[in-house]
Amino acid sequence: MKYFALTIFVCLLIVALVSAVPVDESLQGDFYGEDDTHNPHDPQAIFKLKKLKKLLKLG
């Protein structure tokens, strides 16, 4: 019975900790621009690709 109560307590603690983490919504605004297509003649395209690769490594 002790282990069952401890398991329930640990699960509730995990849920409380995960729901307490703040959500960073600033990353969403970077990719919903006027166009999401890759233009090879755009000089800023390499920086957009680097940012995308960095975000994919975080996820």
- Tens-digit pLDDT string for the chain (59 aa): 899 999 999 999 999 988 887 766 655 555 555 555 666 677 777 777 788 788 777 65
Residue carrying the six token digits 């509730």: 12
**What residue numbers bound the domain in which 16 lies?**
3-57
For 39, residues 6+ apart whose C-beta sits below 8 A from its C-beta are 45
Count how many domains the chain has.
1
